[in-house]
Homo-oligomer: A and B are copies of this chain.
Amino acid sequence: MEKYKVNFQSVGRMIEVPGGTTVMKAISEAGIDFDFPCGGGRRCGKCRFRILEGAIQSDHMEREFLSEKEINEGIHLACFTEIYSDISVELLRVNDVKHQILMAAEERSMRIEPHITKRYIEVKKPSLGDHQSDWRRLRESLFQGEHAAALDVQIPVLNQIPETLRTAQYHITAITYGRQILGIEQQDTTKTLIGMAFDIGTTTIVGFLIDLYSGKELSVVSTLNPQAKFGADVISRISYTEQEKNGLETLHFEVIKGINRLIKEAAEKADINVEDIYVVTIAGNTCMHHLFLGLNPRYISKSPYIPTISDPLVLNAESLHITINKTGKILVLPNIAGFVGADTVAVLLATEMDRSEEIKLVVDIGTNGEIVLGSKHKLFTCSCAAGPAFEGAQISSGMRGAIGAIDHVVFGEELEYTVIGQVKPQGICGSGLLDAIAGLSEMGIINEKGKFLHPDKITNAKAEVFKSHIIQYEGTYAFLLADEEITAHGRPILITQQDIREFQLAKGAMAAGINILMEKYGISVEEIKEVLLAGAFGNYMNPHSACSLGLIPKELEGKIKNVGNAAGTGAKLALLSASEYGRTANIADAVEFVELGSYPKFSTIFARSMNFK
């Protein structure tokens, strides 16, 4: 087939693709960290680019998402457009690579206790009177008697022993994991011991390169999850594995590739070799966990929602093609049940909820939402497909928390908002949407049911100055946040009635989850002593707005604390300490999973929870 050059001018990258390839696929293959909010589903209209040169063919349907002006300027959508000559394009949202990915978190004190051990030894040299094998003399220089005999070794390590011993004149450093020897290095390398912790989110992957002696973070890296182009949320990823030939292999391969890129990047940033990394911990929700391992996630999404495995798993890096030291180990944190996965276990490890005397509530809102309620005596959890709305996927002007997103809105003397990166706004992210809707609700511009009132029916005096923002839109009303003249793309940023409905579905699911867990626990809201907000959205949102809308019970407003990327922190703790990793299995077992859909009163509670009180 004829091949064509695609020149991504704005990012300075060039690749070749066969005729008929979509621009979306070309972007992926070029390894550009570009965001497709709806996973390439042709639903969000956000993967805009400008054609500068060359012949393309675009589906007429894309015009639904574009203004006349944009069409005239040569703007197209990457998912709709196919390449039929050498082309040159400008990607319009490539600054999305500067996503505000939540990487830091509140750290807690812990005792460092690495999974792997390095020991510098001098191995006894062979002679004509001492015919022992290289392995035997190595192992007996390390341990005595039964301990030496129990030491386990695999071929890749055996392969390196003879030359390493002789080149290093029998002065070597041995790396062991439990009773397995992972490798030997020439001379004394005990000063370096490095590992990496990963939090694999549905949307983003964050990796922490850690010095395993000091606990020091050597570098932090992140990327959009490269699986996102095959589906924005866990359900659409699972559908992809079921409907596409080799779908499972594709998604598995994508996340492995993504992680390997992060490992390389983190090592380069910290100026170390990837071979120096001997251990990696992995946290992620059940679906991410299964896809990372190449396990079919099919039955997680079908009643009664059974994962293949929930236990902690220790695997060889090589068997998963993870490019750390080829004898290195991958430690996968355990899942709980259903979609509540190893990321929630990591959050619990980081927040030590399983050791708390007081009852706490953890709310982790990422692309998926997970809630845990309890104390050392009892823990309950549930998951809600809450995220996409909070991440801008089904919101008319929605976008993730990236440069150009309105992230906070204040209804003061006049309308005020802040934009990430202090640039012209180009959309609104979850925390901005929350503030806006909370304001509209508090001023009575929308009612308890979330419906816009006729401007004449609005009675709140404070609302007066904002009435001019209420516009007619698609047969009802919308709230104009930013006029087309001040936005980056020349289109207005609105809060539409439909946006509010989408928000209510997400908020309703979260609030229903919290209510049902309280019911299961048999406590009233006052008994909750602390609310810990984890995850990207939870971290940036204004607690007052969340409580005002009932996303979190009003009574808890004063008890809210942000804990940042607690899943990442948990993965780091599990990396730094074998005891902490060991504890994850107990935590996973201690939490009782509540499947919301099958909870008897779920639909009633959910319907009620959509209201703004």
Interface membership of A553, Cβ < 8 A: no
- A-B pairs with beta carbons under 8 Å apart, 23 shown: A126-B304, A130-B304, A131-B304, A131-B593, A132-B337, A133-B309, A133-B310, A134-B306, A134-B307, A134-B309, A135-B308, A135-B309, A136-B310, A136-B311, A154-B319, A155-B319, A155-B320, A158-B308, A159-B295, A159-B308, A161-B308, A162-B298, A163-B296
Which parts of A297-349 form the interface with B (CB within 8 Å)?
298-299, 303-311, 313, 315, 319-320, 335, 337-338
**Would B315 and A155 count as touching, CB distance under 8 A?**
yes
From A162, A299, A315, A598, residue with most partner B Cβ within 10 Å: A162
Indicate whether A19 reaches chain B with its CB closer than 8 angstroms.
no
A:147-167 near B, CB below 8 Å? 149, 153-155, 158-159, 161-163
Tell me whether B311 and A135 are in contact (CB under 8 A): yes
**What is the distance, in angstroms, from A168's C-beta to the closest C-beta of chain B?**
15
Please name all residues of chain B whose beta carbon is closer than 8 Å to the beta carbon of A320 when the two chains form the complex: 155
In the bound complex, CA of A155 to CA of B248 (Å)? 14
What CA separation (Å) do A162 and B301 show in the bound complex? Answer: 13
Indicate whether A127 reaches chain B with its CB closer than 8 angstroms. yes
Our pick among B162, B293, B585 for the contact of A308 (Cβ within 8 Å) is: B162
Kindly state whether residue A258 has any CB partner on chain B within 8 Å: no
- When distances are taken between beta carbons in the complex, the residues of chain B under 8 Å from A135 are 308-311
- CB-nearest residue of chain B relative to A335? B133
CB distance from A216 to the nearest CB of B (A): 32
B595 touches A305 (CB 8 A): no
**0/1 per residue, A205-234, Cβ < 8 Å to B?**
000000000000000000000000000000
B136 touching A304, Cβ below 8 Å: no
Cα separation A162 to B131 with both chains bound (whole Å): 50
Give the shortest distance, in Å, between A409 (CB) and chain B (any CB). 40
Instruction: Give the CA-CA distance A153 to B313 in the complex, in Å.
Output: 8
A294 CB–B CB distance under 8 Å = yes
Query: Closest CB-CB distance, A306 to chain B, in whole Å?
Result: 5
Closest B residue to A318 using CB positions? B319
Q: Is the CB of B293 within 8 A of A155?
A: yes
- Contact mask A36-51 → B, CB, 8 Å, 1/0? 0000000000000000
Indicate whether A128 reaches chain B with its CB closer than 8 angstroms: yes
> Which residues of chain B are within 8 angstroms of A309 by Cβ–Cβ distance?
133-136, 153, 158
A314 CB to nearest B CB, Å: 9
Instruction: Determine whether the beta carbon of B305 is less than 8 Å from that of A131.
Output: yes
Q: Are A159 and B296 in contact (CB under 8 A)?
A: yes
Alpha-carbon separation in the docked complex, A134 to B311 (Å)? 11
Q: Are B598 and A128 in contact (CB under 8 A)?
A: yes
Which of A134, A135, A159, A308 gathers most chain B CB within 10 Å?
Answer: A308
Residues facing B in A581-610 (CB within 8 A) are 585, 593, 595, 598
For residue A128, which residues in chain B have a CB less than 8 angstroms away from its CB? 303-304, 595, 598
Q: Which 10 A-B pairs have the closest CB atoms?
A: A131-B337, A135-B309, A133-B310, A133-B307, A128-B304, A126-B306, A128-B598, A126-B304, A133-B309, A131-B593
For A303, the chain B residues whose CB sits under 8 A away are 128
Determine the residue in chain B with the shortest Cβ distance to A166.
B299
Cα distance A159–B293 when bound, in Å? 9
- Give per-residue flags for A87-116: 1 if the beta carbon is below 8 A from chain B beta carbons, else 0: 000000000000000000000000000000
Q: Which residues from B are CB-within-8-Å of A294?
A: 155, 159
C-alpha spacing A136/B585, complex, angstroms: 12
Contact present for A162 and B126 (CB under 8 Å):
no
Chain B residues positioned under 8 Å from A158 (CB to CB):
293, 295, 308-309
Q: What residues of chain B lie closer than 8 Å to A153, measured between beta carbons?
A: 309, 313
Contact A162/B296 with A128-B598, A319-B155, A595-B128 known, Cβ cut-off 8 Å: yes
Interface centre among A127, A136, A293, A593 (most CB of B within 10 A): A136
B293 and A134: CB pair below 8 A? Answer: no
A304 touches B127 (CB 8 A): yes
Q: Is the CB of B133 within 8 A of A338?
A: no
When C-beta atoms are compared, the residue in chain B nearest to A337 turns out to be B131
Chain B contacts for A161, CB-based, 8 A = 308
Question: Would B154 and A310 count as touching, CB distance under 8 A?
Answer: no
Of the candidates B134, B299, B310, the one whose C-beta lies within 8 Å of that of A132 is B310
Bound together, the chains give a CA A310 to CA B299 distance in angstroms of 46
Min CB distance, A516 to chain B, in Å?
15
- Residues of B contacting A126 in the complex (Cβ-Cβ under 8 angstroms): 304, 306
Chain B residue at minimal CB-CB distance from A307: B133
Q: Which residues of B contact A337 (CB under 8 A)?
A: 131-133
Residue with the highest number of chain B CB atoms closer than 10 Å, among A294, A311, A315, A338: A311
Residue of B nearest to A319 (CB): B155
**Chain B min CB distance to A395 (Å):** 33
How does the 8 Å CB contact mask read for A251-270 relative to B, with 1 for contact and 0 for none? Answer: 00000000000000000000
Q: Please, which residues of chain B bring their CB within 8 A of the CB of A595?
A: 128, 131
Given A134-B309, A136-B310; 18 other pairs, CB 8 A cutoff: A128-B304, A128-B595, A128-B598, A131-B305, A132-B337, A133-B311, A134-B307, A135-B308, A135-B310, A153-B313, A154-B315, A155-B293, A155-B295, A158-B308, A158-B309, A159-B294, A159-B308, A162-B296
Q: What is the CA–CA distance of A155 and B321 in the complex, to the nearest angstrom?
A: 13
User: With A and B bound together, what is the CA distance between A163 and B337 in angstroms?
Assistant: 19
Give the shortest distance, in Å, between A284 (CB) and chain B (any CB): 15
Pairwise interchain contact A131-B311, C-beta atoms closer than 8 A: no
Residue from the set A153, A309, A598 with the largest chain B CB neighbour count within 10 Å: A309
In the complex, A311 Cα to B295 Cα: how many Å?
Answer: 35
Query: A299 contacts B162, CB within 8 Å?
Result: yes
Nearest CB to that of A293 among chain B residues? Answer: B155
B295 and A133 form a contact (CB under 8 A) = no
A337 to B126, CA, bound (A): 12
